[in-house]
């Protein structure tokens, strides 16, 4: 039964998350709040039950597959995207590249500085 137990815990957290999101009309999706709820629960408990670990890590291993159905939904937007095709394509590529670069650079710098200050060897661990 470990699979059923694990799945129940995940769904219960998502359910609680949805209730909080709807109840307080937050602009945050229920599963994200569910993730916070589960994290708090795990910290209180002090360990990850093996049934939950089995189910959760199984799901995460196939996370890429789970995006496919939503991605196919792009076909519905062809017309809207076509109306502004080049600005959209150039913006997506240029801005994503800059965002990746800036974030990675800032974090690498800050992390190196942080590690130096706290006397730990920087970067990799």
Q: Pick out residues in 80-119 that bind another protein (CB under 8 A).
A: 80-81, 83-84, 86-88, 90-108, 110-111, 113-114, 118
Q: Is 1 in the site for another protein (CB under 8 A)?
A: no
The correct pick among 3, 4, 19, 28 for binding another protein (CB under 8 A) is: 28
Question: How many amino acids of this chain bind another protein (CB under 8 A)?
Answer: 78
* 72 and 20 Cβ atoms separated by less than 8 Å: no
Q: How far apart (Å, rounded) are the C-alpha atoms in residues 44 and 41?
A: 5
* 18 and 34 Cβ atoms separated by less than 8 Å: yes
Q: Output the DSSP codes for 73-115.
A: GGGGGHHHHHHTHHHHHHHHHHHHHHHHHHHHHHHHHHHHHHH
> What six digits make up the tokens of 111?
């992390």
Q: Is 3 in the site for another protein (CB under 8 A)?
A: no
The correct pick among 24, 43, 82, 119 for binding another protein (CB under 8 A) is: 43
Site residues for another protein, 44-83, by CB under 8 A, read: 48, 52-53, 55-57, 59-61, 63-77, 80-81, 83
Q: Is 4 in the site for another protein (CB under 8 A)?
A: no
């Amino acid at each position: 039964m470990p699979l059923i137990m694990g799945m129940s815990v995940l769904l219960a957290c998502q359910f609680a998350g949805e209730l909080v999101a709807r109840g307080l009309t937050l602009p945050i999706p229920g599963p994200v709040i569910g993730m916070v709820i589960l994290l708090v629960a795990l910290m209180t408990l002090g360990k990850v039950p093996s049934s939950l670990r089995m189910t959760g890590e199984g799901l995460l291993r196939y996370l890429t597959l789970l995006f496919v159905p939503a991605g196919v939904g792009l076909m519905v937007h062809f017309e809207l995207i076509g109306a502004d095709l080049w600005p959209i394509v150039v913006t997506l590529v240029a801005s994503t590249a800059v965002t990746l670069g800036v974030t990675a650079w800032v974090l690498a710098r800050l992390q190196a500085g942080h590690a130096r200050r706290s006397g730990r060897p920087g970067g990799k661990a």
